[in-house]
Amino acid sequence: MITEGAARRVHIIQGEYKVLSDPDAVLSTILGSCVAACLRDPVAGVGGMNHFLLPGTGNTPMTGGDATRYGVHLMELLINGLLKKGARRDRLEAKIFGGAKTISTFSNVGEQNAAFAMQFLRDEGIPVVSSSTGGEHGRKIEYWPVSGRARQYPLTGAETQRTVALEQRPAAPQKPAETSIEFF
Protein backbone atom coordinates (compact mmCIF):
# COMPACT_ATOMS: atom_id res chain seq x y z
CA MET A 1 0.00 0.00 0.00
CA ILE A 2 1.43 3.37 -1.02
CA THR A 3 0.76 6.12 1.46
CA GLU A 4 1.17 9.58 0.03
CA GLY A 5 2.46 11.18 3.24
CA ALA A 6 5.10 8.51 3.88
CA ALA A 7 6.64 8.62 0.42
CA ARG A 8 10.27 9.68 0.18
CA ARG A 9 10.40 12.24 -2.64
CA VAL A 10 13.36 12.42 -5.01
CA HIS A 11 13.25 15.25 -7.54
CA ILE A 12 15.00 14.90 -10.89
CA ILE A 13 16.13 17.91 -12.90
CA GLN A 14 17.15 18.25 -16.53
CA GLY A 15 20.16 16.08 -17.34
CA GLU A 16 19.69 13.71 -14.41
CA TYR A 17 18.54 10.16 -13.86
CA LYS A 18 17.87 8.16 -10.70
CA VAL A 19 17.42 4.43 -10.05
CA LEU A 20 15.72 3.28 -6.83
CA SER A 21 14.47 0.08 -5.22
CA ASP A 22 12.73 1.74 -2.24
CA PRO A 23 8.99 0.92 -2.36
CA ASP A 24 8.24 4.12 -0.42
CA ALA A 25 10.11 6.40 -2.83
CA VAL A 26 8.53 8.55 -5.51
CA LEU A 27 10.51 10.20 -8.30
CA SER A 28 9.25 13.53 -9.58
CA THR A 29 10.11 16.02 -12.28
CA ILE A 30 8.61 18.96 -14.14
CA LEU A 31 8.60 18.82 -17.94
CA GLY A 32 7.94 21.23 -20.78
CA SER A 33 9.43 20.13 -24.09
CA CYS A 34 11.76 17.77 -22.20
CA VAL A 35 10.94 14.08 -21.92
CA ALA A 36 11.16 11.74 -18.94
CA ALA A 37 11.45 8.01 -19.48
CA CYS A 38 10.34 5.90 -16.52
CA LEU A 39 11.61 2.32 -16.64
CA ARG A 40 11.28 -0.57 -14.22
CA ASP A 41 11.78 -4.28 -13.78
CA PRO A 42 8.69 -5.45 -11.87
CA VAL A 43 10.33 -8.74 -10.81
CA ALA A 44 13.54 -7.19 -9.43
CA GLY A 45 11.57 -4.36 -7.79
CA VAL A 46 13.76 -1.62 -9.22
CA GLY A 47 12.94 1.36 -11.39
CA GLY A 48 14.11 4.78 -12.41
CA MET A 49 13.53 7.99 -14.31
CA ASN A 50 15.54 10.29 -16.52
CA HIS A 51 14.91 13.83 -17.81
CA PHE A 52 16.42 14.89 -21.13
CA LEU A 53 16.29 18.13 -23.10
CA LEU A 54 17.23 17.12 -26.64
CA PRO A 55 16.68 14.03 -28.77
CA GLY A 56 19.49 11.82 -30.04
CA THR A 57 23.12 12.70 -29.60
CA GLY A 58 23.52 16.06 -31.31
CA ASN A 59 26.01 16.79 -34.06
CA THR A 60 29.02 17.53 -31.90
CA PRO A 61 31.13 15.34 -29.62
CA MET A 62 29.61 15.12 -26.16
CA THR A 63 31.67 16.12 -23.18
CA GLY A 64 30.84 16.55 -19.51
CA GLY A 65 27.58 18.42 -18.94
CA ASP A 66 26.73 18.56 -22.66
CA ALA A 67 26.12 14.81 -22.82
CA THR A 68 23.45 14.93 -20.12
CA ARG A 69 21.25 17.13 -22.31
CA TYR A 70 20.78 14.36 -24.90
CA GLY A 71 18.34 11.48 -24.81
CA VAL A 72 20.67 8.75 -26.01
CA HIS A 73 23.12 9.40 -23.17
CA LEU A 74 20.48 9.51 -20.45
CA MET A 75 18.60 6.49 -21.81
CA GLU A 76 21.81 4.43 -21.72
CA LEU A 77 22.64 5.66 -18.20
CA LEU A 78 19.15 4.78 -16.96
CA ILE A 79 19.17 1.29 -18.47
CA ASN A 80 22.69 0.56 -17.22
CA GLY A 81 21.76 1.86 -13.76
CA LEU A 82 18.80 -0.51 -13.65
CA LEU A 83 20.93 -3.46 -14.75
CA LYS A 84 23.49 -2.70 -12.03
CA LYS A 85 20.68 -2.86 -9.44
CA GLY A 86 19.56 -6.33 -10.57
CA ALA A 87 17.10 -5.57 -13.37
CA ARG A 88 17.06 -7.73 -16.48
CA ARG A 89 16.71 -6.10 -19.89
CA ASP A 90 14.06 -8.61 -21.03
CA ARG A 91 11.78 -7.64 -18.11
CA LEU A 92 12.01 -3.85 -18.46
CA GLU A 93 8.88 -1.83 -19.16
CA ALA A 94 8.62 1.90 -19.85
CA LYS A 95 6.35 4.90 -19.48
CA ILE A 96 7.12 8.11 -21.42
CA PHE A 97 6.05 11.64 -20.46
CA GLY A 98 6.58 15.20 -21.71
CA GLY A 99 7.41 16.55 -25.11
CA ALA A 100 5.03 19.52 -25.09
CA LYS A 101 5.23 22.29 -27.65
CA THR A 102 5.52 25.06 -25.11
CA ILE A 103 6.54 27.89 -27.45
CA SER A 104 4.49 28.10 -30.63
CA THR A 105 7.15 30.04 -32.57
CA PHE A 106 9.91 27.47 -31.96
CA SER A 107 10.44 24.16 -33.71
CA ASN A 108 8.69 21.30 -32.01
CA VAL A 109 11.64 19.80 -30.14
CA GLY A 110 9.17 18.26 -27.69
CA GLU A 111 7.66 16.12 -30.44
CA GLN A 112 11.17 15.14 -31.56
CA ASN A 113 12.08 14.20 -27.97
CA ALA A 114 9.01 11.99 -27.58
CA ALA A 115 9.56 10.33 -30.99
CA PHE A 116 13.22 9.70 -30.11
CA ALA A 117 12.31 8.06 -26.78
CA MET A 118 9.70 5.81 -28.40
CA GLN A 119 12.07 4.77 -31.21
CA PHE A 120 14.96 4.17 -28.80
CA LEU A 121 12.84 1.89 -26.64
CA ARG A 122 11.45 0.07 -29.70
CA ASP A 123 15.02 -0.49 -30.94
CA GLU A 124 16.03 -1.81 -27.51
CA GLY A 125 13.01 -4.13 -27.34
CA ILE A 126 11.61 -2.42 -24.23
CA PRO A 127 7.80 -2.19 -24.32
CA VAL A 128 6.16 1.17 -23.63
CA VAL A 129 3.18 0.31 -21.42
CA SER A 130 1.84 3.88 -21.39
CA SER A 131 2.74 7.39 -22.46
CA SER A 132 1.50 10.95 -22.26
CA THR A 133 3.33 13.25 -24.65
CA GLY A 134 2.70 16.38 -26.67
CA GLY A 135 0.21 19.14 -26.00
CA GLU A 136 0.90 22.79 -25.33
CA HIS A 137 1.42 22.75 -21.56
CA GLY A 138 4.03 21.32 -19.27
CA ARG A 139 3.36 18.63 -16.71
CA LYS A 140 4.55 17.53 -13.31
CA ILE A 141 5.27 13.80 -13.15
CA GLU A 142 5.37 11.51 -10.13
CA TYR A 143 6.59 7.94 -10.59
CA TRP A 144 6.84 5.17 -8.03
CA PRO A 145 9.72 3.13 -9.46
CA VAL A 146 8.99 -0.13 -7.64
CA SER A 147 5.23 -0.35 -8.32
CA GLY A 148 5.29 1.44 -11.68
CA ARG A 149 2.49 3.76 -10.61
CA ALA A 150 2.63 7.13 -12.35
CA ARG A 151 0.67 10.33 -11.92
CA GLN A 152 0.81 13.57 -13.87
CA TYR A 153 -0.48 17.06 -13.19
CA PRO A 154 -0.95 19.54 -16.04
CA LEU A 155 0.76 22.86 -15.48
CA THR A 156 -0.97 26.20 -15.97
CA GLY A 157 0.27 28.69 -18.54
CA ALA A 158 2.41 30.54 -15.98
CA GLU A 159 3.89 27.30 -14.60
CA THR A 160 4.68 26.14 -18.13
CA GLN A 161 6.49 29.41 -18.88
CA ARG A 162 8.66 28.98 -15.76
CA THR A 163 9.46 25.45 -16.93
CA VAL A 164 10.36 26.74 -20.40
CA ALA A 165 12.69 29.32 -18.85
CA LEU A 166 14.47 26.57 -16.89
CA GLU A 167 14.78 24.40 -20.00
CA GLN A 168 16.33 27.25 -21.98
CA ARG A 169 19.07 27.86 -19.41
CA PRO A 170 22.44 26.47 -20.43
CA ALA A 171 23.39 23.28 -18.62
CA ALA A 172 25.56 23.90 -15.60
CA PRO A 173 29.18 23.19 -16.47
CA GLN A 174 30.45 20.09 -14.78
CA LYS A 175 33.68 20.22 -12.85
CA PRO A 176 36.41 18.75 -15.06
CA ALA A 177 38.04 15.55 -13.87
CA GLU A 178 41.24 16.06 -11.93
CA THR A 179 44.12 15.28 -14.29
CA SER A 180 47.12 16.28 -12.22
CA ILE A 181 49.29 13.70 -10.53
CA GLU A 182 51.02 14.35 -7.25
CA PHE A 183 54.33 12.56 -6.77
CA PHE A 184 55.86 12.11 -3.34
Residues assigned a catalytic role: 34
Dihedral in degrees, nearest 10, Cα atoms 54, 59, 64, 65 = -30
- Element containing residue 113 per DSSP (H, E): helix 109-124
Cα gap 152→92, rounded to integer Å: 21
Long-range contacts of 150-158, Cβ-Cβ distance < 8 Å, separation of 24 or more: 150/38, 150/95, 150/97, 152/97, 155/30
SS3 category, 163: helix
Q: How many CB atoms lie within 10 A of CB 14?
A: 23
Residues making up the chain, counted from first to last: 184
